[in-house]
Amino acid sequence: MIDSQIKSKLKMFASLTLIIGGASLFSCSGGANQESETRKVKAEDIKVVSEMKADLTSPPFVPKSTANRAATKLIVDMEILEETGEMADGVEYVYWTFGGTVPGSFIRTKVGDEVEFTLKNHPDNKLPHNIDLHAVNGPGGGAASSFVAPGHEITFSFKTLNPGLYVYHCATAPVGMHIANGMYGLILVEPEEGLAPVDKEYYIMQGDFYTKGEFGEQGLQAFDMQKAVDEDADYVVFNGKVGGLTGENELTAKVGETVRLFVGNGGPNLVSSFHVIGEIFDRVHVEGGDLINENVQTTLIPAGGAAIVEFKVDVPGELVLVDHSIFRAFNKGALGMMNVTGDEKKDIFAGTIQEGIYLPEGGTIQSMPVDEKKADEPTVELSKAEKMDLGKKLYGSTCFACHQANGEGIANAFPPLAKADYLNDDVSRAIEIVLRGKSGEITVNGKTYNSVMTAQNLNDKEVAAVMTYVYNSWGNNGTVVTEDMVKKVRNK
């Protein structure tokens, strides 16, 4: 009898718990929806009392914060341009652009703004275009209202309701082709109070490109639709080109500064595993929204998505920005640099404190597989111009990842080839390194490097060509390397 009463009470308690829990869950869910709806209604109700022209900036720069202004009528004037640009050293491509750059101009708005958007299609363009802004609540994100033919312009308007970092892109059929040719960018909708102030802000966007020629193949390259359908990208790059964030395009910061990166992924196909080598993201606005993740090493950015990453730079040196789907970085171009200057912080990073010799059993310099038949093929000596053309292509496919498009190398990792005393002092030594590889410490232009150069699987003609290209680029001594010079070293 007692057991029966206990069971009955437990059953009744469980039922009450489910009812109360369900009511609570419903209440919380309703509250969340209500909060979202309240925020949206609040944005809709914000009245604008002024008008201003939007400051549109080219990557990697962004307009100033909206924190110190009220919601306004924001006039956006954007021109579509179809123009030839440089995809890589010696490789040209016809880009379709918003504002003349890939990615397109950065648009900075805030919640409650009324945006009057005029889209102009330059009369020299060949195709109609439009724009789909992921920040727009309306048909096609504005695409349905913005279809514009060459030589025409169109104006539409929308109100910004939801804060976040959003992608915009062309949505004219075939949509994938328009995006793949560079038609994408970012629009930021700041909250009413603006984002917290930081020392530096930069605009970066990844994209994948599909060309008839393989990576590094010289000349004007056409878009390859079948490669795009197969998602077989020849180039995966930041800001529209190989080297878009290296050399004179590299980002800068000082020790102690806080950096905010607005990072987008235009796609059209590949997701980005965005990572900064040598830093940890203190804060990440996941997918560009309200959710904040902290202490993040790598953040995933979907095609057609974005993220805001923030970090404080603690020590000087070169930070390397990559898509950590790592062959894209070192073999397809998704690599950038941030040069951090300032005082050393030995308590945070002391660098090398001891160096010794490590020779495990069987250890040796790595080498690429050698095709003996290829190495022994009889050849006809190329002219200098022919060597330069072939050398450029070979450099783009074999040397670029470590030594960079302009031969600057990577600080503390791979030595420079530009104006390199080590290279210019001894041509035979340089040829031998290409043929047999090199490990251990060397000094180049007064700086010490200790890394590994793998032996390359190149025949004599190819070695002569790529070495001639290097010696006749970036301020080097102009040596023309012959196949006989390579043979002598190979046969030593």
Is 206 in the same domain as 245?
A: yes
Q: What is the DSSP letter of 324?
A: S
Last residue of a domain, one of 147, 166, 190: 190
**Catalytic position from the list 57, 118, 155, 298:** 298
**Catalytic position from the list 87, 109, 246, 275:** 275
Alpha carbons 228 and 173: distance in angstroms, whole number: 15
Per-residue pLDDT tens digits for 210-231: 999 999 899 999 999 999 999 9
**Catalytic residue check, 352:** no
Residue-level pLDDT at 375: 46
Question: Counting every residue, how long is the chain?
Answer: 492
Is 219 in the same domain as 176?
A: no
Is 184 in the same domain as 317?
A: no
In 91-199, which ranges are continuous DSSP H helix?
175-180
Last residue of a domain, one of 190, 212, 229: 190
**Please, which pLDDT band fits residue 448 given cuts at 50, 70 and 90?**
confident
**Catalytic residue check, 298:** yes
**Catalytic position from the list 86, 224, 324, 482:** 324
Q: Residue 236 above 90 pLDDT?
A: yes
403 annotated as ligand-binding: no
Per the domain annotation, does 419 fall within a domain? yes
Residue-level pLDDT at 302: 98
**Catalytic residue check, 169:** yes
**Catalytic residue check, 122:** no
Return mean pLDDT, the chain: 87
Per the domain annotation, does 115 fall within a domain? yes
Per the domain annotation, does 428 fall within a domain? yes
**Catalytic residue check, 183:** yes
What percentage of the chain reaches a pLDDT higher than 90?
71
Residue-level pLDDT at 352: 61
Provide DSSP, 371-386.
Answer: -HHHHH----PPPHHH
**Catalytic residue check, 129:** yes
**Catalytic position from the list 78, 82, 114, 178:** 178
Domain with 463, as residue range(s), is 372-490
Residue-level pLDDT at 194: 95
We report the CATH number of the domain holding residue 428 as 1.10.760.10
**Catalytic residue check, 294:** yes
**DSSP β-bridge partners for residue 307:** 263
Per the domain annotation, does 44 fall within a domain? no
Quote the crossing angle between the two packed helices 427-436 and 483-490, to the nearest 10°.
60
pTM for the whole thing? Answer: 0.73
Alpha carbons 329 and 390: distance in angstroms, whole number: 23
Is 228 in the same domain as 154?
A: no
**Catalytic residue check, 152:** no
**Catalytic residue check, 399:** no
Per the domain annotation, does 178 fall within a domain? yes
Is 402 in the same domain as 307?
A: no
Per the domain annotation, does 109 fall within a domain? yes
Per the domain annotation, does 366 fall within a domain? no
Per-residue pLDDT tens digits for 95-146: 999 999 999 999 999 999 999 999 999 999 999 999 999 999 999 999 999 9
Residue-level pLDDT at 456: 84
**Catalytic position from the list 78, 87, 170, 338:** 170
Is 403 in the same domain as 327?
A: no
177 annotated as ligand-binding: no
Residue-level pLDDT at 438: 86
The dihedral over CA atoms of 476, 480, 481, 482, expressed in degrees to the nearest 10, equals 180
Is 186 in the same domain as 205?
A: no
122 annotated as ligand-binding: no
Alpha carbons 408 and 415: distance in angstroms, whole number: 8
Is 156 in the same domain as 78?
A: yes
State the residue for tokens 């048909």. Answer: 139
Max Cα separation, the chain?
Answer: 106
**Catalytic position from the list 79, 82, 169, 483:** 169
We report the CATH number of the domain holding residue 59 as 2.60.40.420
Structural domain count of the chain? 3
Residue-level pLDDT at 364: 45
**DSSP β-bridge partners for residue 283:** 294, 310
Is 231 in the same domain as 316?
A: yes
